[in-house]
Structure 1
Amino acid sequence: MSTPPPETPGTPWSDGLRFAFGTLTVLPVKVTRWDREAARAGMLCAPVAGLVVGLAAAVVGLFLLVLGAGPLLAAVAGAAVPAVLTRGLHLDGLADTADGLGSGKPAADALRIMKQSDIGPFGVITLVFVLFAQVAALAEAYGGSWGRGAFATVVSAVAARLALTLAARVGVPAARPEGLGAVVAGTVPLRGAVLVGVGVAVLVGVAGLLFGTYGLVLGGVAVLVACGCAELLLRHCVRRFGGITGDVFGGLAETAATSALVVLAVW
């Protein structure tokens, strides 16, 4: 089990925001610190980066609708913009994780497969179905109303990064001694992870009130389901690989985003 990170109340939140945006987006943010204290603050700030990504995707989708495009094209934008703003790293991580899990190999061999630059059949199949599910769910949401589509886009992006905050909690080990997974694994205190999770669920629920009481409930449920599905994948990866890696983080983000979208699509 990982040793809890030392208390560092003096760690500036500005360093955490830089870490979050510098590692989780392609926005031109300079990471000034690359240590576990900054990583802890950064992973606690991960949902903020998700909020910015989600808002950007929603703006593009709504702009296309204003120009006369249909819900399907807006949905494609809702799935494409987050991929662009993360340089496709989360999708790449999802594919690599699928290849590692699908290989059925021992942990060391599976991790080696995940580090290879090519993509295997399990990764291809997973990417195809995940992207189809995201676009289909967003098209359903935008077809209901522009507001619902934008709401689903933002919530899915925030839930995706919240899953990373929870995965970086104390007690979850790194599978490798190097890479992003090793830097952030076990950095977030359990209490901090719970507080961020509850805070995000409450804020999403309050935002859902724009669509009535049902929106409040469904927004909170979407976040809970997203985190629950990501948690199941996290535990499976820890059992199979001995811990988490940067690729696993990407897989968790896409799993959470897709799960949230599916819940919001049945609205």
Structure 2
Amino acid sequence: MAVGTLTALPVPPPRRIDGRVAGGAMLLAPVAVIPLAALAGLVMWGGNALGLPGLASAGLAVGLVALGSRGLHLDGLSDTADGLGASYDRERALEIMRRGDSGPTGVATLVLVLIVQCGALSAGGVAAAMAGVLAGRCVLSLCCARGVPSARPSGLGATVAGSVPIPLAVLVFVVAAGLAVLIPGLPWWRGPLAVVIGYLAAGVVLWRCTRRLGGITGDVLGACVEVATAGVFLALG
């Protein structure tokens, strides 16, 4: 479920999807996207080796990661921005998010977040690319922790909402911050700080969406991933 949902890699669907499977998939999200993180790092390394401008390499890396995830998270970011920006009425906002088309708020948000991601990554290099992709998916366990409701009775959000026990969500954060100490070429504290910033960015989006929408949707999860990734890129750039 983790690989099939978060990447474009062809894998068979799970035989069943229940709370346990959904929670496991959210916990394994960063593991599932290791190939995408490696691809982003490889693109940044290749761009440096070929003497490409840093911004061009960053744009290629971000674009290939988006392609490798079928643009799922970017679509979620755009839809979430449209929903939050269009109406203070909960049902109206959810209906706008369900349509799937992009309005001016969604397009502007998408462009601005991508500019931040590419600009920050252009100064961050290989390690930042890989860390940002992985840490951005770590926040999914936070968004699906027990106590976080679903905004709808059906859909991806309803499947994964509240599926991750809080201690395991905390464990994912601790492991991510601990491994970030090992990011080469940086002071030991820089990597963990980047993870914290990514989590804080996603936490703000999560808090806003639960207040306005009553819980999470699949689009909200995508928005949290992209905002967290941008936060990590900025902290490591």
Q: How high is the TM-score relative to the length of structure 1?
A: 0.85
Q: Please identify the structure whose Cα radius of gyration is greater.
A: 1
1:101 to 65, 71, 84: 84
Root-mean-square deviation (CA), in Å? 1.2
Query: Is the 2:195–2:232 Cα contact (8 Å) retained in structure 1?
Result: yes
Partner of 1:150: 126
- Cα distance in 1 for partners of 2:204, 2:53 equals 35
The alpha carbon displacement at 1:69 in A equals 2.0
Unmatched segments (≥5 aa) in structure 2: none
1:214-244: CA deviations, max 9, x gaps?
1x21100000110011011101100100100
1:41-75: CA deviations, max 9, x gaps?
11111111233321111112222333332212211
Q: How does 1:84-99 map to 2 (within 5 A)?
A: 84-99=67-82
1:96-138: CA deviations, max 9, x gaps?
0000111133111000000113111110110111111111111
Residues 1:232 and 2:204 are matched in the alignment: yes
Aligned amino acid, residue 88 of structure 1: G
Which deviates more from structure 2 when the two are superposed, residues 50-59 or residues 111-120?
A: 50-59
Aligned amino acid, residue 133 of structure 1: V
Query: Is the 1:175–1:182 Cα contact (8 Å) retained in structure 2?
Result: yes
SS in 2 for 1:186: coil
SS in 2 for 1:211: coil
Percentage identity across aligned positions?
Answer: 44
Q: How does 1:3-152 map to 2 (within 5 A)?
A: 19-32=1-14, 33-141=16-124, 149-152=125-128
Partner of 2:185: 211
- Cα distance in 1 for partners of 2:229, 2:110 equals 13
Partner of 1:159: 135
The alpha carbon displacement at 1:28 in A equals 1.2
Partner of 1:171: 147
The alpha carbon displacement at 1:198 in A equals 0.2
Q: How does 1:175-214 map to 2 (within 5 A)?
A: 175-205=151-181, 207-208=182-183, 210-212=184-186, 214=187
Query: Is the 1:21–1:27 Cα contact (8 Å) retained in structure 2?
Result: yes
- Cα distance in 1 for partners of 2:103, 2:55 equals 29
Aligned amino acid, residue 158 of structure 1: L
Which stretches of structure 1, 4 residues or longer, exceed 6 Å deviation after superposition? none
Query: Is the 1:201–1:223 Cα contact (8 Å) retained in structure 2?
Result: yes
- Cα distance in 2 for partners of 1:172, 1:40 equals 13
Residues 1:258 and 2:230 are matched in the alignment: yes
The alpha carbon displacement at 1:40 in A equals 1.0
Query: Is the 2:158–2:217 Cα contact (8 Å) retained in structure 1?
Result: yes
Which deviates more from structure 2 when the two are superposed, residues 183-192 or residues 30-39?
A: 30-39
Query: Is the 2:55–2:118 Cα contact (8 Å) retained in structure 1?
Result: yes
Aligned amino acid, residue 100 of structure 1: G
- Cα distance in 1 for partners of 2:41, 2:173 equals 22
Query: Is the 1:50–1:159 Cα contact (8 Å) retained in structure 2?
Result: no
SS in 2 for 1:105: coil
Q: How high is the TM-score relative to the length of structure 2?
A: 0.96
Query: Is the 1:49–1:161 Cα contact (8 Å) retained in structure 2?
Result: no
SS in 2 for 1:119: coil
Which deviates more from structure 2 when the two are superposed, residues 252-261 or residues 50-59?
A: 50-59
SS in 1 for 2:193: helix
Size of the aligned set, in residue pairs, is 236
